[in-house]
Chain A
């Protein structure tokens, strides 16, 4: 664990330039996606194995806390995808290595151009969901009870 914190600290302090930040961002986004993915896959498998738990989790994931996490996962997937494509391309095209610096900039620009509108759209969706619940006297911050989904018990 201390070695992980050391990596984060030195990863920022080490003056490796843009390539260094790409490496760090690729690792962190990858780990973040894996953390989400494992929960997501085992949870979705419950649609078949344990429907009540799945339907309850669907209700729980409508909480704004998970909504913000979803925006974070979107950011991680988009960055990891674009930067991963860059890495794979350079692995197979060594003659392009002299364009490393500009390729990093292109990756970040592409990421922000695509992510920002998507993030605004997703965030407005969360706000809209909360407003719709507030109008019927409910709250998007309410944690759903497991027993509310007893009809899906098997």
Chain B
């Protein structure tokens, strides 16, 4: 875990501990912060899109009205950036509980990271570039 160097001068031992990366700690913090943000973003999205509006009468024209304003585009992009990494990191936590082969879990880690990047970039392009005038 840590590279250790000790220097003894007189009675005091100075010990420098060099931590090897903080990915796990920042991941833990990200899960909490994105989770709190999604209490508003995700629950709000569910209530607005799936209760107040409904899938039964959702049309691409309705999407075009919403995505004609940068407010809604920003809301959806923010939710995307929170939800995909949060969910994929959650899947990684579950998988890491069951897969004990270090090589396999390292491979899964890289694949999931690639998946996050591909999904977030692809969907951000879609939302940002969506032009309401294109919809018939």
Bound Cα distance A85, B124 (Å): 27
Decide: A74 near B46, CB < 8 A? Known: A27-B94, A30-B90: yes
CB distance from A141 to the nearest CB of B (A): 14
The answer to whether B122 touches A70, judged by C-beta atoms less than 8 angstroms apart, is: no
Contact check, B36 vs A88: say whether CB atoms are below 8 A apart: yes
Contact call B51/A85, Cβ cutoff below 8 A: no
Complex partner residue of B123 from A42, A81, A92, A129, CB under 8 angstroms: A42
Contact B42 A61 (CB under 8 A): no
Interface string of B50-65 (1 = CB under 8 A from A): 1100111111100100
Within 8 A of A (CB), among B26-65: 32, 35-36, 38-39, 42-43, 46, 50-51, 54-60, 63
Partner of A152 from the list B43, B130, B136 (CB cut-off 8 Å) is: B136
A66 at the interface (CB under 8 A from B): yes
Contact B129 A30 (CB under 8 A): no
In the assembled complex, the CB of B132 is this many whole angstroms from the nearest CB of chain A, namely: 10
Contact B55 A67 (CB under 8 A): yes
Count residues on chain B whose CB falls below 8 Å from chain A CBs. Answer: 40
A25 near B: Cβ within 8 Å? no
Q: Find out whether the CB atom of A48 lies under 8 angstroms from the CB atom of B94.
A: no
Binary contact track B84-97/A, C-beta < 8 Å → 1, others 0: 10011011001001
Interface check B125, CB cutoff 8 A? yes
Mark out the residues of chain B between 71 and 93 whose CB falls within 8 Å of any chain A CB in the assembled complex.
80, 83-84, 87-88, 90-91
Pairs A–B under 8 Å by Cβ, sample size 5? A27-B94, A33-B87, A42-B119, A42-B123, A125-B56
